[in-house]
Structure 1
Amino acid sequence: MHLSVLVKALRDLKLQIEETITFAETRQEEDLQDDSLFELLEQCQKSVSAVSLAIHDPSNSVSGTVKIADTKSTECHLQGQTTEQVLDDFENLDDLDFDDFFDEAVESKIAEQSSITSENENEESIKQVGLNDCAEESGIENIHCIDDDEPDDVHQPTDPVYQEVLKQYFGYSNFRPMQWKIINSVLNDKRDNCVIMATGYGKSLTFQFPSVFTKRVSIIICPLISLMEDQVHGLKASNIEACFLGSAQSKMATVKQDMFSGKYRLVYVTPEFATTAISDFKKLDELVGIDLIAIDEAHCVSQWGHDFRESYRRLGILKQEFPKIPILAVTATATFDVQKDICSSLRLVRPNMTCTGFDRPNLFLNVEAKHGDIAADLKNFMQKVGYKFCFDGPTIIYCPTKKVTEEVTSALNGLDVPCMSYHASLSFSARREAHHSFLNDKIQVVVATVAFGMGIDKPDIRRVIHYGAPKDIESYYQEIGRAGRDGLPSVCTTLFSRSDFNLSRHFISAIPSEKFRDHKLKMLQKMEQYLSTTSCRRRILLSYFESGNLKEIGGTLNCCDNCRLRSAKICHGLDVSADSEKSVDYRKEAADLFKAIEATGNRYGLQVPILVLKGSETQKVQFFKSNKIFGAGKYKSASFWTALGRALIYEGYLREKAVQGGFGSTVETTQKAKTWLNRLNRSDECHLFITPTGDLQQEEEMQKKKSVVSVSMKPSQAVASSYVVKPSISASLTADSVSGSQLLPATLQPSAPPKDDRIVRLETDLYVKLVKTRNSISQETGFTPHNIASNKVLLDMAKFRPSTRSSLLKLEDFPEVKADRFGDKFLEFIKSFCSQYDLKMDEFPEELHAAGTDDSIGAIKDTLMKISETQRQSYIMFAVNNQSLEEVASRRGLKVSTVVTHLCEAMKEGLNVDIRRLGVTEKMENLVTKAIWAPPVNGGINSLTKIKDQLPEYVEYNHIKVVVALLVQKHGQEKNSNDEIVLCGNAPFKQEIVDIDASAETRQCLKRQRTQSPPQPPVKASCSLALSPEPNSLEPNFLQKSVSDTQTSCLQQSQSSQSPSQSSSQASTRKLPFWIAGSANKTLLKKKMKSNSLFK
């Protein structure tokens, strides 16, 4: 069976399934119950299995596959792969998640059929909407991006009635930036809107609030039934009436009757149902009134997105049928091209565009090598409690195939970790059970294929692991978006090997449309670049979605593994100027590779040109033996040339093209490479600088080891088949061995004020028991735990210990309706606990303006009033409450660089900031200071770029901003005769600006924490939760301790195994995990801080 035949069969089957579902949804008879519909779906799944088994039919597939492979044996384009290895990958086709494969097949066909007509149709739509590339000429109005320095009042309504409804039903005192602008545009201006909001930022509130306020109804189009069920269930916990209409709705007639009577504020529907229910919507508008039509996960509209759904493409009819009802399209993942496609496909009329950015500062990004031993690979991210292993909180493990999914589940079961599988080959009931068990904390881990995708509404997921390379960068961003939606720190880890990409490339080659095939390949290449980079991973990830300046992104401890490693090496005095961030001139090597690719006609992958460079004796390259490039690359290894080739693809000098129906892809030089070669022929001074990837860095390290013994850095693991290089500090760096805790010394760790050990222990105990109380309420009511109260709310309960309903309402994210429904049980337990242990209650902080009686605050009150309110909030959270930079950004919904700017403005006004916590070491401070005072900068602080040019690569723009602020605080600033801003006075004496001795700094890092003690005494919080120390590894251990019954029992078993004396001695040191510290030490603000949990 040829692959194109298989694709057609799968496409037809997919369409048959969609037609069956649509037919079932539109039937009005009540006799079609859940069971019968599920039987239809399971019968379709059996057909899927039959198609997949056909791949291995000896009379068809395998023989056909072998024949295809044999014809390509001399032109096998997969890098470093033999034909036999290609066949091994291809014969695993039956192991794929066919939900995903269906989407690929349909995308391919749609792209092929639309390749001729779609461009014209899109151009016509764009003209109709007035949407062009240039915003000035487009119909898109008011393209909003967050102006982080605007006063907070700008983002709030003037009429307090809106905040009253917000507090009553959603539990928040104020809207977050941009939320009110969007809601006001829809609710009062009746404008169409296209909104790009990062996950966890609160986009759901923008379409849930309007009808709750007006008592009318909103239509919400959602791609997945499971996601609709979760959101409806969560809304009911807040007394917001909602329903869903779709194939899983067994009481269709009753629900519709209630809908027409005006019972529901929000009606969730599938896109398939929406396009067939126009008459129902018109009736609903006449009887009740529709405020808006919201299209969630709107990126599914675009065929250039990663989750394209054909049914979404047909939603443009809604604007045609309801021209006066505003449409709100929302998504967390959309490139600029996808945004344009959304607006044109949905026929939005002069829409307002809002983009809050794509950064998720509370997510730590990490990449590791996969070694094949699943249990050993995953143990690195688990804790051993007693005799059992467990993760630090709810975890999703994504796997590329159902076979790997089952293997990972089996490995976790062997470690006694409560987990379940989720993939398309499981029955509907099995997938539903896994979904609900995970939501209700009955299991800690769900191991899933991409079928799990968007279909989970659980805000407290602490870890997302990809066991195998994701298929493209957009899918990866969507999947890690499941983590940390409550705004608390979470970790996203990818474990992969290079061969993981082989199957993805193979399926890309099956796409008929060349344009769409190239698009898919570019997304895959971006994923490879992200995994292979030795620079900031967050910057690489965001660069795909944002075209703006990303220079201020990254460089902090909680950004990614590369930034954390770089910070550790800086602290230990290592020469980071020769580190992975440093660009390297590969002009000779690049020129040889370009010439080899062109000499072989741009017809092969990298393998054949590399064989030519190496002067191979294999028969396939003997034709090129007379070419002078033959054998010219013997001075480098084949693996080096492969790594360089991949890096040049990422930099745009080479273009990879998938061959339809073939195995792998070809590589050709781009115009960029040709232009560079022409310049090189005219001048020897033509350089080609690129930042080395992990593979290139590893090859360079291996090359050095052949000539000299390197004592500074070496790979921590054997990663021959991986891009990843994990350097570690050599034991010879100091006289004593360097432990993991020393690798992240106190200098780089956030500090916490001293706390009463007894209070810490009791708050921890209270939190754990409140979790059990919440789980008990969940079992009684049927609501999921996080719909009753989020972890953050429970932390605040343990910290502030409210005694009455009115004090309970002071907690953010706990609305009045939840206080009425669940509050009594929480209050009863808190009162009993506090009475038993003699703990004070209602320990809420006072407002800032009333804090003048506190000498520590009073000393800086006047200075605080010199900076803006938003800058004041950031300063208090960071400098007074000791919250981390990332935590402040996440909780306030700002960029990390914006928070740094706020702190810099505070410093300029004379307020003290511990710059070591901002990642500015003493050595870095002196380097920047020296660069600013010395020529050619000469004290000028107008241009950060001019200063950056004088510094090593590892010094980030944020570091420079901090040092500039410090110098302004010390010397002042003024304008010179050229109207440039410069530091006041002359440069200090030369001897005052010296580089710090690396060994001395290292010794200091290992001995003590360097801080800048402010002149005023620190603020003493009335009570607080403990801040755990930094972990003993490169990965941040700031994850949630388990709150499920299973994990609690693990903890109890561990404690019961200790002697009474041990238990007593350890009780005083028990601390909540790092991520909990974010809710600690909240202090005196003029108004309440905006929360980061509007994520429903």
Structure 2
Amino acid sequence: MATDDDDFWGDDDDLIEAGDAMERQASLRGGNFVVAELKRQDTPTEAVLACLKRYFGHSNFRPQQWEIVRRVVADRGDQLVVMSTGYGKSVCYQMPALLMDKLTVVISPLISLMEDQVKNLASVNVRAVLLGSAQTDNEGARQAVMRGECRLLYVTPEFIDNGGQSFLKEVELGPGIALVAIDEAHCVSQWGHDFRPSYRKLGNLRKQLPSIPFMGLTATATPQVRTDIVSSLGLRDAKITCTGLDRPNLYLRVCKKTTSGQDLRPLLVNGDSGPHFGGPTIIYCPTRDKVEEINGDCRRMGVACTMYHAGLSAAARKKAHIDFSTDKMTTIVATVAFGMGIDKPDVRRVIHYGAAKDIEAYYQEIGRAGRDCLPSTAVLFWESRDLIIQRSMLNKDMNQAYLSHAMNMQRKMEEYLVTNECRRKFILTHFGDRLSGDTVKSNCCDNCDQNAASSTAGGQEAEKSVVDCGAEAAQLFQVISRVFNSRCGLTKPIAFLRGSNSKQLQSWQTNNPLFGAGKAKSERWWKALAQLLRIRGYLDESKFGDFATVVSLPSKAEAWIRSGESQLLLPSTTELTEATKEKTVATAAGGSDTPQRLLPERKTRTWQDTTQMRLTSESSNKSGDEKLMVELLKQLTDLRNNLAAETDIAPYMVASNKALVELSRVRPSSMQTLDQIDDLPVERAKRFGDSFVQLCRNFCEQHSLSTNNSSAAALSGSVQLPTEIQSLVDQLPSTTAQTYYLCVINKLDVKSASGQRSLSESTLMNHLASAAKIGLPLDLAQLGITREMIDQVLSTVRSPPISSDISRLKPIMEVLPEGWCCYPRLRIMLSIIEYEHESVDSSDQLDSGPGKSSFQSCPISSNNTPLVRQRTNSDGGGGKRKLPEWMAAASPTNSRDSPAQAKRSRSSIFK
């Protein structure tokens, strides 16, 4: 018979289980018991996941996040974290403070970023403070830290250097420190793109706090920079974690600069509150003067924009930052000093109006776009003068090793601008990362779109374009070194090779046998070759005086000459390819053949639209629900913005765009169901959740919509497709299939689907073109296309001057009546024609007209007639915040619809 003692002193396992339960409950309250628990477990416990949901809104960690957090909490080890922007670096250094109920010190150079993070933490009921020279209540913040009331302390490296070390030593001996996190850790390294001497001194802090784990974090660090960071900070047995730097939601595009009006106006989208660039947009400019010029141009175009640069007062800069962060302004034009400090997750577009100073700075700057992981775009407009200015800004008196490194980074930037390769792959390769898979991908970059035409049927990336420029390089080298003795720029050697009668050339020079040896090539071609040779290290260009430059042969070129090799195989550039094409076209005009892809003569099958091919009886019911979801999303966004205005915080601090989309799908009718919503922290739901639940409940009652749906429900719902249709849909990429379900199966119009997917209308139209190419039916009436229009396109293709050549869209568009059609519609019609004629390798073969097709608007009218864009004037002023147009309507466009734009010369360098 058991005694009371037996009941009390049960098995050790029972006692341990009871103790574990106590620890779990304590850790939910932020107690230190969690440390002991984590030392025994490699996976996050329920208590840890509850903390993650409570403060960050996530049900699970992303890969490697938990290992990083656990190393701080359980192992107390140093580490360096290289993680792409938007992946969740803040979770890695904020979670330890919440789990251990201790202070984390965050060192960052970006005051505005730290201010935003303090506000963001306050929105989830976490006390954080900032200590800096511009803060008015530093003493109050210090006292709060010493009383143990704060979980995050943000400081600048200058604060640490000016007495901050002794204060942190006091904190360690008092309430204690869980972690010292050094954000933007690449600033520590002399090889980083943003080296700061004050960061270099942080190694002294490591010595002052030997028992505290240190964590360096950065989104941009090559292997060389990583090694330097670990060494400079004095990290001990540091674990280096790299999550991969790929940003698959970012589309990369490069264009040659013309004028700001011609370059920027085609990117505008017309909304109810005036034109914008498809969502919150940062436009980077290299100088203050250019910032003010572009800001003025944007305002004259009706864009609600503001500007930010160091020449403005602190109050003006702060107002610009707040206006942009709170969506009072859709666009901010700024020097790079601004964008580094913004913590706005829903920036849809980053535009560089001028080349960035180097490749690493560029990657860091475009990282401001799409931090919410939704589709976003990085566009760069450049001209050769940008590169000359950047080279001239290098300090020739700096350390020779660093100067060489800086010049190499600039060459990498130039190579990025002119490469024919995938731009994403180019950037990742520089950082020692690699793109998953070797296929040409859609929604990746402009080069992938161009190169899709030469990809294999299986979608494999075409071989890198390599040119043999040995003969021409030898000629250029001889002229530079022997004729001009390396004492001039490129203008004279190129004029010499082309046999110019320029007065700059002396008579004795024109008697040289090499004079005119390169006249078969254009001036543009020779300049492109020289650029390629400079990028690859076969030419040096150095500053001479205040404005001039001289070219000379480096050791690499001299070694090639001595080798006696006749070949010099180098990867081609876009500029060299285009210059070669110009010559080919000129030759073709004289009678030679030009490469073509001809449409087969015979029609072998018939493409059917949705009126001819049965899809599903459930589509009509789903259609109404999808349209109501779009309307609900608008109302939820309106509510979010109103709540943000009332509480004086940024809208994303109330609810993220991702959370709003999920709210429109789940439609919770109670606070309990609200827990299903990912990306909505429990603490934030407590504060704002009732308002969202009430809106969802009332909306669903009014429209007889279901509530409390599963958040995992697929977009396709319970729709059953005929086997032959489903088999074709299965061949589509997932993003294309998602568009097909929305626009065709669920009968959602392209504009509404664009808002729901945060993709441009023309991108969705291109998805539908891909579907039509493999025989899937479309609703032509909804797309504003008729059979008569398709027949007219076919007739145009068959007639001169096209003569069945369907290799490019632009020549076809130029023959069609002006303003008759837009590029995305033309692509769909040609896709149908290709399907019916079984054109070989038709998938992704057509170009996109003048620029990336996702920048082209394709409005649909009720009477199936292509619309002509009507612009509205707006002063771009602030006022009460409204639903961002990019979430509910069109996305970035570059319209062919307006007759005034039909003959505009293409701004892109890609023909």
Whether 1:1034 aligns to 2:900 is no
> In the alignment, which residue of structure 1 is the partner of 2:703?
837
Query: Letter of the aligned partner of 2:686 in structure 1?
Result: D
> Which stretch shifts more, 156-165 or 669-678?
669-678
Does the C-alpha gap of structure 1 residues 264 and 884 become closer, same or farther in structure 2, counting only changes over 3 Å? farther
Matched, 1:172 2:58: yes
Alignment of 1:999-1018 (within 5 A): 1003-1005=833-835
1:379 aligns with 2:265: yes
Does 2:165 align with 1:278?
yes
SS state of the match for residue 330, structure 1? Answer: strand
Does residue 808 of structure 1 match 2:674?
Answer: yes
Q: Structure 2 matches for 1:670-819, cutoff 5 A?
A: 670-681=554-565, 686-709=566-589, 756-819=622-685
Amino acid at match of 2:854: P
- Of stretches 794-803 and 404-413 in structure 1, the one that deviates more from structure 2 is 404-413
Q: Distance in 1 between matches of 2:520 and 2:838?
A: 47
For 2:379, the aligned partner's letter is T
1:658 to 532, 538, 542: 542
Mapped to 2, the partners of 1:285 and 1:242 lie a distance apart of 17
User: Aligned partners of 2:773 and 2:586: how far apart in 1?
Assistant: 36
Partner Cα distance (2:164, 2:884) in 1:
51
Distance change in 2, residues 1:695/1:821 (3 Å): same
Write the distance in 2 (CA, Å) between the matches of 1:818 and 1:300.
33
Partner in structure 2 of residue 136 of structure 1:
none
Number of the residue aligned with 1:560: 445
In structure 2, the residue matched to 1:343 is: 230
Q: Is the 8 A contact 1:217 1:266 kept in 2?
A: yes
Question: Which residue is equivalent to 1:528?
Answer: 414
Aligned residues between the structures? 724
The question of whether the paired residues in 1 share the 8 Å contact of 2:542 and 2:550 is answered with: yes
Q: Distance in 2 between matches of 1:398 and 1:611?
A: 36
- The alpha-carbon deviation at position 1072 of structure 1 amounts to 5.8
Instruction: Give the conservation status (yes or no) of the 8 Å contact 2:52–2:60.
Output: yes
d(CA) in 1 for partners of 2:253 and 2:772? 19
Report SS of the residue matched to 2:393.
helix
Q: 1:186 to 1:657 in 2, by over 3 A?
A: farther
Matches within 5 A, 1:239-638: 239-275=125-161, 276-372=163-259, 374-385=260-271, 388-508=274-394, 510-546=396-432, 552=437, 555-567=440-452, 582-599=465-482, 600-602=484-486, 604-614=488-498, 618=503, 628-638=513-523
Aligned to 2:10: none
**1:251-283: per-residue Cα shift (whole Å, max 9, x none)?**
111111111011111100000102221121111
What is the distance in 2 between the residues matched to 1:564 and 1:500? 26
Q: Secondary structure at the match of 2:442?
A: coil
Question: CA 1:753–1:503 in 2, change beyond 3 Å: closer, same or farther?
Answer: farther
CA–CA distance in structure 2, aligned partners of residues 407 and 1046 of structure 1: 27
Using the alignment, how far apart are the partners of 1:175 and 1:877 within structure 2?
A: 30
Shift of 1:878: 6.5
**RMSD, matched Cα:** 4.3
| CA distance in structure 1 between the partners assigned to 2:379 and 2:244 by the alignment | 22
CA shift digits 1:974-999 (9 cap, x unpaired): xxxxxxxxxxxxxxxxxxxxxxxxx9
Q: Deviation of residue 305 (structure 1)?
A: 1.7
Q: In the TM superposition, what is the alpha-carbon distance from 1:559 to its structure 2 partner? A: 0.6
The letter of the residue matching 1:836 is Q
Instruction: Name the TM-score, length of structure 2 as normaliser.
Output: 0.72
Q: Which amino acid in 1 is paired with 2:478? A: K
* 1:353 positional shift: 0.8
Report the Cα offset of residue 879 of structure 1: 5.3
Query: Where does the alignment leave 5 or more consecutive residues of structure 1 unmatched?
Result: 1-153, 715-728, 736-751, 860-874, 886-913, 923-953, 955-998, 1012-1029, 1053-1069, 1076-1096
Distance in 2, matches of 1:398 and 1:492, equals 11
SS of the residue corresponding to residue 366 of structure 1 reads: strand
Cα deviation, residue 178, structure 1: 1.0
User: Secondary structure of the residue that 2:201 maps to in structure 1?
Assistant: helix
Q: 1:348: Cα distance to partner?
A: 1.1
- 3-state DSSP class of the match of 1:704? helix
Per-residue CA deviation, residues 924-976 of structure 1 (Å, 9 max, x unaligned), is xxxxxxxxxxxxxxxxxxxxxxxxxxxxxx9xxxxxxxxxxxxxxxxxxxxxx
> Residues 82 and 218 of structure 2 are in contact (CA less than 8 Å); yes or no, is this contact kept in structure 1?
yes
Candidates 102, 120, 139, aligned match of 1:234: 120
In the alignment, what sits opposite 1:182? 68
Distance 1:844 1:332 in 2: 35
| TM-aligned CA distance change 1:378 to 1:1046, over 3 Å | farther
Alpha-carbon spacing, 1:340–1:570, altered in 2? closer, same or farther (3 Å): closer
Q: Partners in 2 of 1:921 and 1:675 — Cα distance?
A: 53
Q: Distance in 1 between matches of 2:582 and 2:126?
A: 62
* Distance (Å, rounded) in 2 between the aligned partners of 1:761 and 1:568: 36
| Residues 155 and 181 in structure 1, CA contact (< 8 A), matched pair in contact too | no
Q: Aligned in 2, Cα 1:417/1:390: closer, same or farther, shift over 3 Å?
A: same
Distance 2:736 2:520 in 1: 57
For residues 892-907 of structure 1, the aligned pairs below 5 Å read none
Residue 198 (structure 1) aligned with residue 91 (structure 2): no
Shift of 1:915: 15
What is the Cα deviation at residue 540 of structure 1?
A: 2.1
Code of the residue aligned with 1:586 in structure 2: it is: C
Instruction: Tell me the equivalent position of 1:115.
Output: none
User: Residues 656 and 187 of structure 1: is their aligned pair in 2 closer, same or farther, counting only changes over 3 Å?
Assistant: farther
Gaps of 5+ in 2: 1-39, 602-617, 724-729, 741-766, 776-806, 808-828, 842-847, 860-875, 893-911
Deviation of 1:1044 (Å): 9.4
Equivalent pair of 1:156/1:174 in contact (CA under 8 Å): no
1:23 corresponds in structure 2 to none
CA distance in 1, matches of 2:718, 2:305: 50
Distance 2:460 2:439 in 1: 16
Answer whether contact 2:327 2:881 (CA < 8 A) is retained. Answer: no
Structure 1 residues 1002 and 633: CA distance shift in structure 2, 3 A:
farther
Query: Contact 1:1038 / 1:1074 at 8 angstroms: preserved in 2?
Result: no
Distance change (3 Å), C-alpha of 1:758 and 1:776? same
| Conservation of the 8 A alpha-carbon contact between 1:506 and 1:664 | no
Is it true that 1:222 corresponds to 2:88 in the alignment? no
Deviation at 1:1031, TM superposition (A): 12
Partner residue of 2:524 out of 622, 633, 639: 639
Q: Which residue of 2 is the match for residue 95 of structure 1?
A: none
Once the two structures are overlaid, the 10-residue window that deviates more, 519-528 or 875-884, is 875-884
2:697 aligned with 1:826, yes or no? no
The 1:163/1:648 distance shift into structure 2, 3 A limit, reads: same
1:474 Cα deviation after fit: 1.5
Residue 279 of structure 2 contacts residue 885 of structure 2 at CA under 8 Å; is this kept in 1?
A: no
2:47 is equivalent to residue 161 of structure 1: yes
Pick 1 or 2: higher relative contact order, CA cutoff 8 A, min separation 6: 1
Residue 781 of structure 1: how far off its partner (Å)? 1.5
For residues 586-638 of structure 1, what are the alpha-carbon distances to aligned partners after superposition, in whole Å with 9 as ceiling and x for unaligned?
Answer: 22212222333343445554344434434556556667667654443333233
**Deviation by residue 1:349-405 (Cα, 9 ceiling, x = unmatched):** 121111122211100011122212x23321111112469422211001111111111
State the SS of the aligned residue for 1:758.
Answer: helix
1:663 is displaced (CA, Å) by 4.1
The Cα offsets for residues 851-880 of structure 1, whole Å up to 9 and x where unpaired, read as 9x98979x9xxxxxxxxxxxxxxx999659
